[in-house]
Structure formats: structure tokens, C-alpha cells
Structure 1
Amino acid sequence: MPFLDRIIGNSLTIKYIKKMRIQEQIELGFTLLEMLVTLVIVGILVTMAVPSIHEFLRNNQLSSRTDKLISTFNFTRSEAITQNGLIYITAIAVDNWGEGWTIWVDQDGDGLLDNGLNDTEILHEVRFSGATTIKLQNDDFSAISLEAISLAQVDSSLKPKTLGYRGNAALAVTSPVQFNICDDRSNEKGRQIEIRITGRVAMVNNDDFQCQ
């Protein structure tokens, strides 16, 4: 009977469609659950990774500024050889080279860093922002007085924060100079560099050194 067959066929079709919809809902429900579980796991991993990323960035900043300081002294030394005369590096702050420095030539020999005037040639200037400190110190964090060891022919106001390279590539000091590069993390490994009297710059490998 065609009519009855059509009714039975329609009924089976409806049941099949309902079954498929239920199956889709079940599958969709599992998919959402899996997504939620995945999001939770990702959230946990991100939370665990953030401190590591932060530490990585801080360490990278220390390394970057250490490299910048080393390249600064190498550049100044090279310029002193090229010009066969004194080239100076003056820190922006007296007790912390971490804010930056100026590389300059004293054209008129008055020992003054006269910004913008013809008697001073600014070769390069570096400025930093952030919590990095770069100080002249010993391993025990006792300060090194540039006034006591520097032979730079500059005004007394600049002596505490100025180093100079001579035309023979030597550093104008009576003893080697050591810089400690740290940030605001205490008891963490910082960076150390030493500038020898010959003018050469070298990293210091000191396993006992920690920032304070």
C-alpha cells in the first residue's frame, strides 16, 4: 500500500533525523567539554610560564645593557686611537651609570662637557630607563672612587663620573675599573665587567657575585 509505505517511510525518516540530532548534540557536548578542559590546562600553563617569561626578559635586559657598556668602551678606545688623543665617557648620574652616558671630545681642553657648544664634540650618547644599576664597585659592593683613580683631564665636577681613553688605547686610570650591572632583584646573579689599565674590556666570571 503506497500510502502506508509513505507514512512508515516518513516515520522512519523523522526518527532518523531525531537520532542524528541527538547524536550531534552529544558530540557537540563532548566537544565543548574538551574545549573547556583544554582552556583550563592552557590557563594553568600560561600562569606557570609568566614568571619564567618575566625572568627571561629581565635577564635579557641585563645582558643587553652589559653588551652596550662593553661596546661603548670598545668604541671609545677605538676613537682615542683614531684621533690620537683623550676621549671621555661621562655618566649621566654620579653614582649610577645605569641611566646612561656621553662619549665626548674636549676640543678646547677646558675639561668641561659643554653640550651644544663648538668646544665640545659629542660622539655618542646613551640613555636608559628602568631599574638597572651600573656601578663601579668591588666584589663586596664597596664603592670605587673615580676621583681617586682617574687620570682624566676634566673639571672636578666631572671627575666622579668620567673615564678617559688615551691615544695609545690605555685607560686613563691608576688601577683597573670594575662595573657591577644589577637590577632591583636582590641575591640574584648580576653581570660584571672589568676594564684593565691597557684599555681592554673583559667579562668577570665570579660565581660568588650576587646583586644586593
Structure 2
Amino acid sequence: MKVCSFGKQLQGFTLIELMVTISIAAVLLVIGIPSFVAFQRSSELTSAANSFVAALGAARGEAMKRGLQAVVVPLANNDWATGWTVFVDTDHNQQFNGSDILVQQQSALPSYFAATGQGTAQLDPAYIMFNPSGYTQTSGSVFQSATLKIERNDISGAEKIQQTRIVVIAKTGRARACQPATDTTCTTSASQ
């Protein structure tokens, strides 16, 4: 220990102590950053799927409340990744226009997300429609389930499976979001 000219002891870190501390911090960062990135990606994807489930719930609720059909459609070009519109379909044409009642709109998903539908969600024009009883149906009044798969398009392999969510809409109108990597009933052909 060194003593300065004023009789006080000098305190501080030695170079070895500082290097050991920096090395430990570097190891923790190397371990922690990939976990944080995976957590962030999963959170973004779950948020997008939950937003779609909420839109479906709003459409179903409005259909039952107003006694009219309510519809969820993509904002543009049958591409669900461009966002979606929820409206009460007063003219029964499954397309949002001036006579319909807007319930809500979702802006486009981030560019690294892709969203593809099955059932009426893949038709041209794509839609998911709820009747006044809250059941999903086609424009021909046939009860039909549908799914929407939301996945990242900037990754591949096993990581892509982890970064995929599927929203399943049953014929009864019930919607749920699931993760195919952890749920064997979570497929694009699921109906419950």
C-alpha cells in the first residue's frame, strides 16, 4: 500500500484486477446478448399475433352487439403483413367502403414478418367474417375455420420454427394464438 505525502493511503484497482473484471463482463455479454435477441424476437412475434387475436375479438364482439356481419380484411393486396381493417359490413360485400362502420385498423407489421392465411383468409379477396351469432363463416354462409401464420422472413431453419406463430380461428369464432414449436395442435390446418 502506498502512502501519499499527506499521510493518507492511496486506494484503487490494480491492472490485473481491472482486466479480470473486464473479462468477466465480456463473458457475460457474450452469453447474454443472444438470449436477449431471441427474447426480443419472440416478444415482437407474440405481440403481432396477439394484436390479430384482439382484432378478431373486436370483430366478433361488434357482430354480436350490432346483429350484423363484421369482417377483418388485409389493408392491401391480400397481404396480411400490410395490416388489417376491422369493420361492420353493412352492405355484405366483405370489402371496406364508405357505408361500413370502421371498428379498428392495424398498421403494417415490420418488414421482416410474413403473414399467410388459410381458409377464407387466403381467398382473393381475403377476409375473416363473423355472423351476428359470433361464428365464422364464408360469404356463402358456410361455417368455416381459418388460420393465419405469422413468421419472420429474415431467418431460416430451426430458428424460423421457433419464430413462428399461428392464429387459429374456430368455426365457433374462438381465436387463439399458438406456437408450432411447442404445441403439436398448432398447425395451419387446425380448426380448434
Q: TM-score when scaled to structure 1? A: 0.68
In structure 1, which of residues 97, 118, 133 is the aligned counterpart of residue 114 of structure 2? 133
Question: Quick check: which has more Rg, 1 or 2?
Answer: 1
Asked if the contact 1:80/1:168 (under 8 Å) is kept, the reply is: yes
In structure 1, which of residues 100, 103, 120 is the aligned counterpart of residue 83 of structure 2? 100
Asked if the contact 1:95/1:135 (under 8 Å) is kept, the reply is: no
The one-letter code matched in structure 2 to 1:122 is L
Of Structure 1 and Structure 2, the greater strand share is in: 2
- Who is 1:121 aligned against? 101
Of Structure 1 and Structure 2, the greater helix share is in: 1
The one-letter code matched in structure 2 to 1:123 is V
Alignment RMSD (CA, Å)? 3.0
> Following TM superposition, by how much is the alpha carbon of 1:39 offset from its aligned partner in structure 2, in angstroms?
1.9
Instruction: Note the 1:46-65 alignment, pairs <5 A.
Output: 46-65=29-48
Asked if the contact 2:71/2:87 (under 8 Å) is kept, the reply is: yes
Unaligned runs of 5+ in 1: 1-17, 138-143, 149-158
Query: Residues 94 and 55 of structure 1: is their aligned pair in 2 closer, same or farther, counting only changes over 3 Å?
Result: same
Whether 1:186 aligns to 2:169 is no
Aligned residues: 172
CA distance in 1, matches of 2:23, 2:136: 58
Query: Residues 29 and 146 of structure 1: is their aligned pair in 2 closer, same or farther, counting only changes over 3 Å?
Result: closer
- Who is 1:152 aligned against? none
> Following TM superposition, by how much is the alpha carbon of 1:181 offset from its aligned partner in structure 2, in angstroms?
1.7
Q: Percent identity over the alignment?
A: 19
Q: TM-score when scaled to structure 2? A: 0.74
- Who is 2:19 aligned against? 36
